[in-house]
Chain A
Amino acid sequence: MTQMPPPPATGCSATPVLKQRGQREVFCGLTGIIWLHRKMQDAFFLVVGSRTCAHLLQSAAGVMIFAEPRFATAILEETDLAGLADAQDELDAQVAQLLARRPDIRQLFLVGSCPSEVIKLDLARAAERLSVAHAPHVRVLNYSGSGIETTFTEGEDACLASMVPVLPETDARELLVVGALPDVVEDQMLGLLRDMGIERVRCLPARRADDIPSVGPNTVFALVQPFLGETLAALTRRGARHIPAPLPFGDEGTTAWLQAVASEMGVAPARFAEVTDAPRARARRAIAAATETLNGKSVFFFPDSQLEIPLARFLTRECGMTAIEVGAPFIHQSIVGPDLALLPEGPTISEGQDVDLQLDRARAARPDLTVCGLGLANPLEAEGLTTKWAIELVFTPVHFYEQAGDLAALFARPLRRKAKLRLEAAE
C-alpha cells in the first residue's frame, strides 16, 4: 500500500504565481453546455451568437448532436446587426417557435456569446420579458458563455451563478453540494453523506426544475468543482456559508472533503471512520494499480479547466508523480487554497497563458506526461512527448472514492500505451 506522505511544510500556498498574458489555446464557456444539458434534464440552452458558436458546439458535441439535443444556436444574421430594436423581436419569435416544438422544456437559458456581447444585445432583459411571457411553465434565465468573459468550465460557473438569485428562500439548516457531477458519482456522494446521518442534502444544479434547492442564512455549501468562484460569491450574497475543503479527487481529497462536511454537520469521528474505512481501502487499492506506472514520473499541466491544481495534488501525493508546472486558466484562492497547501513545493504555478512561451517551457522540461487540450496533444506527441488530453477529465466520472482508480488510470494509460507500442522490426 502506498504510504501517504505527511503534509508539506508550507505547500504551494506562498508560491508566487507566474502570470502571463498573450495567446491562449483554450475553449470558451459555451462548451459547458455540452455536459450541463445532460445534467439538467428539462433545460434548454439557446446560444445567441454566430455560425462560429454553432460550429464550436457541434465540434465539441461530436455525435451527441443527433440525440435530440437540448441546445441550439440562434445565429445572428446581417439584419440583426443592422438595428437592435428588432433583435429582441427576432429572439422572441425564435423562443416561441422553440418552446412550441419542445413542450417538455421547463428552464430556458439564453446564453450570451462574443458577438451578442460586442453588439450589446441585452439578453438579461430578454430573459425577464420571456419569463413573464412563458410563465409559469418555463423559466428563462441568462448567462454569458462568451470567450471574452469565460474560459471553458467557467461557463458552468456563470450558468449556476445565474440560477442562485432566483432560488427560493429557506431558513432550514441544509447542506448544498455545488457543481455538476455525473449522476452515478452524485448518488455515491449522497449515499456516503446519508450513511453518516446527513440527510438534508441538496444539489446545484438539480436534475430537474422540480428539485431546485432553496437557500438562506442557515445554508452551508461545499463545492465539488474548483471553477465555481462566481457561484460561491452569489451564494454568499444569499447568506449561505462556504465550507472550504480540498476537492474530492483520490482517497486523500475525498476523505478531506467529507471530513470538512462531517465536522460542519457534527458527525462523530467513529461514525465517520465506520462509513469511510471500506471505500478508502478500495480507493487506495485501485490507485496502487496505476501508481506502478506513474511513480517517479514528471507531469506538466497546460491550463484548461481549473481542475489542474487539485489534480496535481492528487498525482503528486497519491501517485508519486513530480509536478513541473501547474497551469490554470484562473486560480480562485478561496476554493483551491486547501489543495495548494497540500501540493508539495517545487512546481511553477502559472495562471493564464502565452501559449508559445509555455510550449517552449514544456519542450525544455521534457515532462514524462503533459496534460493539455486537443489542439496541442497530437502536435506534442509528434515531438515525442506523451500527452493526456485534458477535456476527458471534465467529461468522465473522476470524483470520490470509487472513481479514484479510474482517475489515476486516465493518466497511466498514455504512459502504458507508449511503453506497449513496438514498431521496429523484430531482429
Chain B
Amino acid sequence: MKLSVWTYEGPPHVGAMRVATGMRGLHYVLHAPQGDTYADLLFTMIERRDRRPPVTYTTFQARDLGSDTADLFKTACQDAVARFQPEAIIVGASCTAELIQDDPGGMAETMDLGGIPVIALELPSYQRKENFGADETFYQIVRRLAVPMDRTARPTCNILGPTGLGFRHRDDVTEITGLLADMGVEVNVCAPMGATPSDIARMGAAHFNVLLYPETGEAAARWCEKELGQAFTKTVPMGVGATRDFVAEVMALAPHATRPSEDALRLPWYAASVDSTYLTGKRVFLFGDATHVMAAARIARDEMGFEVCGMGCYNREFARPMRAAAKEYGLTALITDDYLEVERAIEDAAPEMILGTQMERHIGKRLGIPCAVISAPVHVQDFPARYSPVMGFEGANVIFDTWVHPLVMGLEEHLLHMFREDFEFHDAAGPSHHGGKAVARQDSAGALPRTPGYLEKDEAERGADVVTWLAEAEAELKKIPFFVRGKARRNTESFAAERGVREISVDTLYEAKAHYAR
C-alpha cells in the first residue's frame, strides 16, 4: 500500500477514456462498479465538452457480484452498439472489474455485435497509470485497424498522440497543422484526436508520422514504423529551437517541403529586448510530464536565459530520457509521483520561479514562489477559450507571455531595489499586475508582514546547527526584495558555514553577496 493524497495521473482506464473521447465513431464499454462515472466530469467540466464521453459503464453493484456481472457486461455491449452505432468498440475493465475476472475482451469477442471490430484492452490497474493507458489503447486500436497501403501522391503525414483532456492539444494540433501546411505537407490523419476508426484504417497512406506527444503516441508510432514503413519525428516542436529542429526533420522526411515563414514569431525579439535583461539567470524549477519538462528546460535556458536549478517528471516510463536530459543541465532528475517529494525538492532548490503542473501551482502558492503551468494535470483555467498553443511559433509567443507574467516586471523589480524602504511600494505588496491587496508597510518597530513558506522560517525551525543572524543583519535581509530574499538567506548561511562564521552580521551578508555576485 502507498499512502497518497494527490495523484499526478489517474488509473489506466482514464487514459483509455481520453483516447475514446478524443476520437469519433468509437465507443468504450468499461466494466466498472457504480461510481466510476466520476471520470465523465473531467471531460464535461474541465475540458468543457458539450457531449458525454462515448463510454458505457456497466455500473455493477454489490447485488450483481457473482455470475450476474458477466451478463451485465454483455447487455451493456449490446445496448451501446444498438444505441450509438459505433464503427468499432474498445472494451476493458476498471481496477475493481480486474479483480472479479470477467474477461471483458474474451466475452465481447464471442458476441455477435454486427461485425464491428472489437478491441480488447489489457490495462493493469495496479501497476500502470493514465498515460500508459492512453498509449496502450491507441496502440491497440492502430494495430487492429491500420493496414499497409499506397502512399498519397502528395507528401502527407499523420499527427500522433493528441487526446481528450490533453494539455493544449486542441491548439497544438491547429498550430502544427498550419506549420506543416506552410511547408507544403498535408496532414493525412490526426489521431486519436478527431479521428474515426475508418480514419485509423487510412493511416498507412501517409509518408511519415509526426509524434507530438510521446507519452500517448509512441507505441503506435513505433508500430507504424515497423509495420507501415513510416518514420516518425523525434523532436517535439515546443520552443523556437525545437521547432526549427522539427522543421529540419520534416524537410529530411519530405524532400519537397519548403521552409515555413517565421513572420509571426515574436519570442526571440521579446527575449532580446532590454526589459527582458532582468530575466537573466533567474532560477527555475521544472516538473511535469517528461516531454513538456524536457522541452521547457531548453526554452528556459537557451531562449529565456533562465538558469534551470531543478527538473523532474512524474511518469516513470520516461525516466531514462529525463535523466539524460537533466545531466546536460548539470542536474540529477527527480523521478517521482509523490508531490511531497517534489515540494521538498523545490524547498531545497529555492527557485525564483516554478514551471510545473496544477500541484506545483499550489506548492508555489504555499511557499510564495511565482509559478506557471507547463504540463498536465491541469485545472479548468488551463483549457482556455482563447487560442493558446505551446507548440510551434505561436506556441513560443504564448510561452514567453505565460512565463513572464508571474514575475515582477523588469522596471518594477528595478524600482523595488531603488525604493526598497518605500512606505507604499514594497515587496509585501507583490507584483502590481496580480490581484493582491496593498499592505501598508509596518514601521521598523512593528513586525513586517510575513510571507508564508521558507522565506521567513522561524529560528526555532531552522535548527541549532544553523548560524545565528544578528538583529541588524536580519533587518538588512528584510530590505532585500522578497523574490531573492530566500536565496540571499541561504547563500549567506552557507557562506558563513563554510568559513566557520557563527554569527551573521551586516558585513557577512554583503561579503556573501559579493562572493555570489552573478
The verdict on A48 contacting chain B, using a C-beta distance below 8 Å, is: yes
Quick one: which of A369-405 are within 8 Å of B by CB? 373-379, 381-382
Task: Find out whether the CB atom of B44 lies under 8 angstroms from the CB atom of A60.
Answer: no
Contacts of A66 in B (CB 8 A): 6, 362, 365-366
Distance in angstroms from B93 CB to nearest chain A CB is 11
The verdict on A345 contacting chain B, using a C-beta distance below 8 Å, is: no
Q: Provided the pairs A55-B10, A74-B1, A115-B96 are in contact, do residues A147 and B45 lie with their beta carbons within 8 angstroms?
A: no
A151 to B34, CA, bound (A): 8
Task: Find out whether the CB atom of B41 lies under 8 angstroms from the CB atom of A148.
Answer: no
Task: Find out whether the CB atom of B35 lies under 8 angstroms from the CB atom of A55.
Answer: no
Distance in angstroms from A160 CB to nearest chain B CB is 20
A-B contact count (CB 8 A): 174
Contacts of B79 in A (CB 8 A): 22, 356
* Count of chain A residues near B, Cβ 8 A: 61
Task: Find out whether the CB atom of A375 lies under 8 angstroms from the CB atom of B44.
Answer: yes
The verdict on B233 contacting chain A, using a C-beta distance below 8 Å, is: no
Contacts of B385 in A (CB 8 A): none
Task: Find out whether the CB atom of B49 lies under 8 angstroms from the CB atom of A379.
Answer: yes
Task: Find out whether the CB atom of B35 lies under 8 angstroms from the CB atom of A51.
Answer: no
Task: Find out whether the CB atom of A24 lies under 8 angstroms from the CB atom of B44.
Answer: no
Quick one: which of A3-50 are within 8 Å of B by CB? 22-31, 48, 50
Contacts of A128 in B (CB 8 A): none
The verdict on A223 contacting chain B, using a C-beta distance below 8 Å, is: no
Task: Find out whether the CB atom of A24 lies under 8 angstroms from the CB atom of B126.
Answer: no
Determine the residue in chain B with the shortest Cβ distance to A50: B95
The verdict on B140 contacting chain A, using a C-beta distance below 8 Å, is: no
The residue among B60, B79, B126, B129 with the most chain A CB atoms within 10 A of its own CB is B126
Contacts of B433 in A (CB 8 A): none
Contacts of A97 in B (CB 8 A): 3
Q: Provided the pairs A23-B58, A28-B35, A60-B38 are in contact, do residues A51 and B95 lie with their beta carbons within 8 angstroms?
A: yes
Quick one: which of A126-174 are within 8 Å of B by CB? 146-149, 151
Q: Provided the pairs A24-B59, A26-B37, A115-B96 are in contact, do residues A98 and B76 lie with their beta carbons within 8 angstroms?
A: no
**Interface 1/0 per residue, A354-376 and B, CB below 8 Å:** 00100000000000000001111
Distance in angstroms from A394 CB to nearest chain B CB is 14
Contacts of B36 in A (CB 8 A): 28, 52, 147
Task: Find out whether the CB atom of A78 lies under 8 angstroms from the CB atom of B62.
Answer: no
Distance in angstroms from B401 CB to nearest chain A CB is 24
A26 to B39, CA, bound (A): 11
Distance in angstroms from B387 CB to nearest chain A CB is 19
The verdict on A94 contacting chain B, using a C-beta distance below 8 Å, is: yes
The verdict on A56 contacting chain B, using a C-beta distance below 8 Å, is: yes
A66 to B365, CA, bound (A): 10
The verdict on A209 contacting chain B, using a C-beta distance below 8 Å, is: no
Contacts of A58 in B (CB 8 A): 5-7
The residue among A25, A117, A375 with the most chain B CB atoms within 10 A of its own CB is A375
Task: Find out whether the CB atom of A118 lies under 8 angstroms from the CB atom of B100.
Answer: yes
The verdict on A214 contacting chain B, using a C-beta distance below 8 Å, is: no
The 8 Å CB contact of B33, one of A69, A87, A146, A374, is: A146
Contacts of A378 in B (CB 8 A): 44-45, 48-50
Task: Find out whether the CB atom of B7 lies under 8 angstroms from the CB atom of A54.
Answer: yes
The 8 Å CB contact of B38, one of A27, A72, A87, is: A27
The 8 Å CB contact of A24, one of B9, B37, B99, is: B37
A31 to B11, CA, bound (A): 18
The verdict on B125 contacting chain A, using a C-beta distance below 8 Å, is: yes
Task: Find out whether the CB atom of A65 lies under 8 angstroms from the CB atom of B10.
Answer: no
Task: Find out whether the CB atom of B10 lies under 8 angstroms from the CB atom of A379.
Answer: no
Distance in angstroms from A337 CB to nearest chain B CB is 25
The 8 Å CB contact of B83, one of A60, A118, A356, is: A356
Task: Find out whether the CB atom of A114 lies under 8 angstroms from the CB atom of B96.
Answer: yes
**Interface 1/0 per residue, B22-48 and A, CB below 8 Å:** 000000000001111111111011001
The residue among A58, A76, A373 with the most chain B CB atoms within 10 A of its own CB is A58
What would 10 more interface pairs be, CB under 8 Å, given A63-B362, A376-B44?
A24-B59, A50-B11, A54-B6, A55-B10, A69-B5, A73-B4, A75-B1, A81-B99, A146-B33, A147-B36
Could you jot down 14 A-B contacts, CB within 8 Å?
A: A22-B79, A23-B57, A28-B38, A29-B35, A50-B95, A52-B11, A55-B39, A58-B5, A58-B6, A73-B4, A75-B1, A119-B99, A148-B60, A375-B41
